[in-house]
Structure 1
Amino acid sequence: MRIDISLLPALAATFMLVFARVGAMVMLLPGLGESNIPVRIKLAIALLLTLVMLPLHRAAYNIDTQSITPLLVLMVHEIIIGIVLGATARVTLAALQVAGSVIAQQLGLGFVTAVDPTQGQQGVLVGNFLTLLGVTLLFATDTHHLVIAALNESYSIFSPGDLVPSGDVAALATRAFAAAFKIGMQLSAPFLVFGLVFNIGLGVLARLMPQMQVYFVGVPLSILAGFLILALVIAAMMGTFLDYFIGVMHELTPRK
C-alpha cells in the first residue's frame, strides 16, 4: 500500500496562513485577547478556530511551495487582516471606557483609578466596571458568536492573495473610532445633564449662602445621586452598547 504525502507541505502552509489571520484576531478580541489571559489559552483558542476554519476555506488559498517569498507576503497580508478585524472589535469596547471616564468626572470620581484588567493599565474605576460588565454581557448573550461569524465571512471580504484595500480599511478604522466616541458620549448623556444641573444648583446655593461649605456638601451628594442614576439607567446603557456591538459585527459580514 502506497500513501501519497505530497500534499502535506501545501496543507501545512495553508494551515499557517489561516492561523496567521485567526491568531492575530484572537490576540485583540474583547474577552479573549486580554493581557491577564495566559498566552497558552489564547494559542489554544486560535488553534481550535483554525482547525474549524481550515476545511471551510482551504480551497481559497493557492499555495506554491516552490518559492517562499509569495508565502511570506501572503502571511503578512493575513496578519494585517486579522489585526483589522480584531482591532475593530476591540475599539467597540473602548466606548465603555469613554462613557466611564465621562461619568466618573461628573460624579467627582475622576481621580479614583485602578488597574483595568482588560488593558493592563490604569483606568477610572467606573470605566473598568462598565468594561467588565460589557465583556460579561457579550459572552452571556452569545454575542461573541458574531465575532466568529465575522471571521468566517472575512474570507468573502478579504480574499486570500488579494491586496488589502487600504482605503476601505482606513474608512473602517475612522468609522470605528468615531462611532466608539459617539456611543460613549451617548451612554454618558444622562450624567452630563445631571452634572450640569447639579453644578448650577451648587453655584446658586453658594451665592445664597456664602458661609456654607458647598464643596463638602456637594461632593457626597453628587456621588450618591450619581450612583442612583447609574442604577436606574445601567440596563438601558448596556442594552444600547450590545446593539452597537452587534451592528459593528454585522458591518463586517457581507450582506447576502
Structure 2
Amino acid sequence: MNEILDLLAPLVLRFEAQLMTGVGLFSRLSILMLMLPGIGGRMLPIQVRLALALGLMSILFPLVSPVESGTTGALVGLIVGEILVGLTLGFTVRILLFALSISGAIIAQTLSLSQIFGFSAEGDSSSLLSTILTLGASTLFLTADLEIEAIRLLIGNLEAMPLGFAATLPSSDIAAEATGLAAEAIRFGITLTLPFLVLNFAYYIILGFLNRAMPQLMITFVGLPAVTLGGLTLLTLSIVAMLTVWLGRVAGVLGS
C-alpha cells in the first residue's frame, strides 16, 4: 500500500491544481443536484445521482478556471465554500417545493383530510395532498427540462463567482437572502391555497347559521362530507392551474 502511495505522490503533486478544481466543482455541483426536485429525492438511488454529478462535472470542467494549489486547510475551505454556494443555489428552487408541500398540508387541513398520510418523494411522512402536489411538481420540473436551466444557472454562477470566491462572501448577506427567499416562498404557498381557505371560511359561516336555525339537527354530520366533497371537486378543477403557476414561478427563479 505504501508503494502505491509513493507512486501516486508525484502525480498528485503534478496535477494538484486540477484535482482541487475538480473537487471544488464537484462540491458545488453535487449539492445543487441534491436540492433539485425529482433528481434530489430519496426515491432516486444515490448511485444514479453520483453518476449524474460526475458526468456533469466532466462536462463542465473545461469551462472552469483552475484553482491555485494550496495546503490541506485551503482544500477544506474550498470544499466548505463551494458546498455553501451550491446549497444557496439549490435552496432557491427547493424552498418552492417546500412551499407546495405547505400548500398541500393547508388544503388537507381545510378539507379534514390531514389525518391521511402518504410518503413524499423525499421519503418522509406527509399529508396525502402534499404528496400528490410535490410528486406532480417534480414530474413537471423534469418534463419541462428545468434541470437544464438549473445547470445553465450553475454555469452563469461559475462565471460570476469562480471557484474559491465563496470565501470572500459575507455570511450575513447569504443568511438575509435565504430568509427573504423562505418568507416569499411561504407567502406563495399560502396564496395558492386561498380558494380553499375561502371555502373553509364560508363552510363555518353557513354551519353557524344552520346550527342557530336548526339546533336539533346534527349539522356536522351533514356539513363535513359536504365540505370534503366540495374541496376535492375544487382541487380537481384547480390542481392543474396550481402546478402551472408553480412551474412558472420556478422557471422565473431559474431564469433570473
Q: Which residue of 1 aligns with 2:251?
A: 246
Q: Is the 8 A contact 1:96 1:184 kept in 2?
A: yes
Shift of 1:5: 9.9
**What amino acid is the match of 2:19?**
A
Letter in 2 for 1:200: I
> How far off is 1:188 after superposition?
0.4
Deviations 1:105-147 (A, max 9, x none): 111112211222x222211111111010111111121222221
For 2:15 and 2:148, locate their aligned partners in 1 and report how far apart those are by CA, in whole Å.
31
User: If each structure's helix is expressed as a fraction of its own residues, which one has the higher value?
Assistant: 2
Structure 2 equivalent of residue 105 of structure 1: 109
Aligned structure 1 segments of 4 or more residues deviating by more than 4 angstroms: 4-7
Aligned length: 244
Quick check: 1:95 aligned with 2:99?
Answer: yes
Task: Quote the residue 1:220 is aligned against.
Answer: 225
Q: Provide the rounded CA distance (Å) in 2 between the counterparts of 1:74 and 1:46.
A: 18
Q: Do the aligned residues in 2 keep the contact of 1:77 with 1:164 (CA within 8 Å)?
A: no
Aligned-residue RMSD, C-alpha: 1.9
Give distance in 2, aligned partners of 1:152 and 1:7: 27
Q: Deviations over 1:149-192 (max 9, x none)?
A: 11111113432222233233123211221111111111101101
Q: Does 1:52 align with 2:59?
A: yes
Q: 1:35 aligned to 2:42?
A: yes
Deviates more, 1:188-197 or 1:21-30: 21-30
Residue 83 (structure 1) aligns with: 87
Q: Percent identity?
A: 34
Gaps of 5+ in 2: 1-10
1:155 aligns with: 158
Tell me the amino acid that sits aligned with residue 68 of structure 1. Answer: T
SS in 1 for 2:102: helix
Q: Select the residue among 137, 140, 144 that pairs with 1:141.
A: 144
- Structure 1, unpaired ranges of 5+: 252-256
1:36 is displaced (CA, Å) by: 2.2
Shift of 1:64: 1.7
Provide the C-alpha distance between the structure 1 equivalents of 2:250 and 2:106, rounded to a whole number of angstroms.
20
Q: CA offset at residue 68 of structure 1?
A: 2.6
